[in-house]
Structure 1
């Protein structure tokens, strides 16, 4: 089992590399494929996100249950039975996902996607390849959840980074040395998806504790999980549906090219999400163990420290993107017209992602207590109001209207969902979360980024401006970290330890 610090660092390192891989090659993809073909990539990413709800909450349940059993000698031997039992659910669902998408390919190509230059045969073949890629990649999240429960984040992130490199960089020869276009691009993603799932499956099974008997299917393992898993499934399903409303509304009401442009903005905000998700992956199994042990004091300390760490990263990175959306896009893509068109949607999506990131620690605490009720209620209300809102907003305001749904939904979550969670699980600590965990870091980073924007309002594609951007982000992280009291205390403690070791 890795220490919590090692798990967090491994998660950040792995996710930063994955985000870099995802961002670095997008201008190449758009340039080689065109915005319309790249819109199919956005459609694939949307289907991948929606497919996650079909795990029925088993991934979150598996992480929590393995974490609880792994530290109980009397139950360690049952972990293999648990994983094998859920495999009998995971693989048939993956097969159904692939079949459903492939069989629906003609209908999707004709009745859903508004292509202007791609022919119908190409669209049908592309959707079939998308179905295979989604189905083959889907089980990898199940095995990654098992490794999270075992607190094997360093190994899990090393695997994820390796396959991310293979996926994003490995496709370049296909684009440059073949004339297969979008079909060759998607075929490569199918191959890497199969390799990734196989790699994660082997790694997870090798790390499971030994058992006195061979792993076999047990229906009781599925039945015991049904209440919590279905609650997580409902919350996740509603959340994923909400996150896909904007892109599927765009794909239905606007030209496919606009979805391609929107996907560029989503790729940037996905990078921000990858910088925040590592905290959830590291603290969720630890919180689950602390809840099971009844250690409220340690749990509260971990909750507030991790909330401040998330606030530091979200405020600094998100602030820079919101301050310089068009300049960042122009530096990245080299396309001034594209950058101007999606700068406002990018700023809105980033602000929404910052707010969403601030809530991952409260959500982890809720799941560690075995409850998803508040998330279900919040997501159901947001979805019920969000669908008609998005239809109107996209029809009237296009890309900016689509992005506004994510921003307003997360504003409502942060104002209403988090106080209700505190009343149930950490009574009396909501004010501390807002005023001590979030506000100092957000203010410090915001003031520094605003000053940088005032000193240099626009940036060009020069080395000096790129250095300015990185320096602003780094200083914003430092300012936010110094303003967050628990983070500041942690840094001081670590510095004292290093000095003590160097003196020995």
Structure 2
């Protein structure tokens, strides 16, 4: 299966998952209530924070799997690493399960529950830790599938399990007249089945021989894996702190109903991260394999083409959200007060997330060459600038300061370090890729924002709003394609189709 086919299906699956999450969120709020959905939003935030424990080890598993497939890693060393890291993940999963004992403290002292039941919140948080432990183990097995470049299988698998996990819970809640506790009981069952399927799939991918699957834990292999992951992990940890700081503060300072509005903003903006992250992590193993085979020009071509695709998608998606945020939120939720509240944050938050997603493209370069030292240095500088800036902005502007801080740190990281990060792969890459593959298509897409002075969606109903915004998004995409390098890639293919 080609790199292109792998990436296309995996991207389609991620888009499907994102759209499914977006489409079902209003139903979650209606069925569970705004306060109870705040616990779902808290679950997503807590899951992200606990994911920091990975410290880049899953990325090392993925990269070593790619190198093993390319014949650049000895079989004994590879399987010793797999067994040892799997054991470490199991230990961490057990520690996460121990978090159930912190549920009373979180329910009573951290969350601003208002008149929501403390007992229900406590019991829900206990179930949340079980779900997170299951999803933690899934991270390890997904890394093996990703490193083996079996993205077609992973794409179809994601489509299936996300349909059951995200959409299937709605009829379940309706049939049992369920509440937020039933929601998480359902998630536990589905995530356990998902974990088992990933476990058996990775066993098939690895092709364990007798005595390789289970054996003694190799402390040296585990130590080497942790050391090699340390720089990757520290880099990820720093950016996880940056990306989660505003959300963590919001969960503590906002009433849980208002935190639901903030979570809407996060949910919409996270689509950009999902789209870009899918492509970045998909090409990482392929680029690492190509570089290991001394095919640098092919690796550069893969990076440039994916950067162009990501920029086209993100630019056209951002236009719709930035220009017509309140209308989009109303069409999505049907809740006018909630839409108005969330629209206060969404445009700037979306712009900030766009800078983050585009700046994160260079992660694929660091992954492919196996060197995160320079990225770590700039990440440290970003964190040192961000935290005091966020504190000052929060003091000056309140909750809106959280958005200002998120915008500033991502704008600076996009503008300054990328020149040096791109040069790690090729000295001319920044001039060609950042300009031609990123800035030009995004700026071309953003030109459609001029329609905001003409198109007023307030008189339209929800379905009409969706239709108009879809057309605006498509128009933005077409303009970006025509004014960027993408047209040079598409025109030959169109000519071939016309000749047929």
Match of 2:51 in 1: 52
From the superposition, tell whether residues 220 and 404 of structure 1 become closer, same or farther in structure 2 (CA, over 3 Å).
same
TM superposition shift of 1:388: 3.4
Structure 2 residue corresponding to 1:153, chosen from 123, 148, 151: 151
> Is the CA contact 1:77–1:210 (under 8 Å) kept in the aligned structure 2?
no
Match of 2:471 in 1: 471
* 2:328 maps to 1:334: no
TM superposition shift of 1:361: 2.5
Q: Distance in 1 between matches of 2:171 and 2:394?
A: 37
Q: Distance in 2 between matches of 1:331 and 1:462?
A: 4
Q: Which moved more, 1:437-446 or 1:204-213?
A: 204-213
> Is the CA contact 1:77–1:212 (under 8 Å) kept in the aligned structure 2?
no
Match of 2:200 in 1: 202
TM superposition shift of 1:207: 2.1
Match of 2:29 in 1: 30
TM-score by structure 2 length?
A: 0.93
Q: Distance in 1 between matches of 2:484 and 2:314?
A: 13
Q: Distance in 2 between matches of 1:120 and 1:73?
A: 54
TM superposition shift of 1:446: 1.2
From the superposition, tell whether residues 352 and 183 of structure 1 become closer, same or farther in structure 2 (CA, over 3 Å).
same
Match of 1:419 in 2: 419
Superposed, 1:324-363 pairs within 5 Å as 324-363=324-363
Summarize deviations over 1:238-268 as a string: whole Å, max 9, x none: 1112111111111222222222211111111
Match of 1:125 in 2: 123
Summarize deviations over 1:167-215 as a string: whole Å, max 9, x none: 1212213432335422112222222222222222222222224547533
Match of 1:432 in 2: 432
Q: Distance in 2 between matches of 1:183 and 1:407?
A: 36
> Is the CA contact 1:325–1:347 (under 8 Å) kept in the aligned structure 2?
yes
Match of 1:181 in 2: 179
> Is the CA contact 1:61–1:225 (under 8 Å) kept in the aligned structure 2?
yes
Q: Distance in 2 between matches of 1:123 and 1:130?
A: 10
Structure 1 unaligned residues grouped into runs of 5+: none
Summarize deviations over 1:415-466 as a string: whole Å, max 9, x none: 122112134432243232332222220222111x224323313353254432
TM superposition shift of 1:10: 1.1
Match of 1:114 in 2: 112
Which aligned runs of 4 or more in structure 1 are off by greater than 6 angstroms? Answer: none
Per the alignment, in what secondary structure is the counterpart of residue 118 of structure 1?
coil
Q: Distance in 2 between matches of 1:95 and 1:338?
A: 38
TM-score by structure 1 length?
A: 0.93
Q: Distance in 1 between matches of 2:437 and 2:261?
A: 35
From the superposition, tell whether residues 395 and 111 of structure 1 become closer, same or farther in structure 2 (CA, over 3 Å).
farther
From the superposition, tell whether residues 323 and 377 of structure 1 become closer, same or farther in structure 2 (CA, over 3 Å).
same
From the superposition, tell whether residues 401 and 10 of structure 1 become closer, same or farther in structure 2 (CA, over 3 Å).
same
> Is the CA contact 1:345–1:400 (under 8 Å) kept in the aligned structure 2?
yes
Q: Which moved more, 1:457-466 or 1:236-245?
A: 457-466
From the superposition, tell whether residues 393 and 39 of structure 1 become closer, same or farther in structure 2 (CA, over 3 Å).
farther
> Is the CA contact 2:10–2:278 (under 8 Å) kept in the aligned structure 1?
yes
Per the alignment, in what secondary structure is the counterpart of residue 25 of structure 1?
helix
* 2:39 maps to 1:40: yes
> Is the CA contact 1:159–1:200 (under 8 Å) kept in the aligned structure 2?
no
Superposed, 1:128-147 pairs within 5 Å as 128-147=126-145
Q: Distance in 2 between matches of 1:186 and 1:404?
A: 34
* 2:384 maps to 1:384: yes
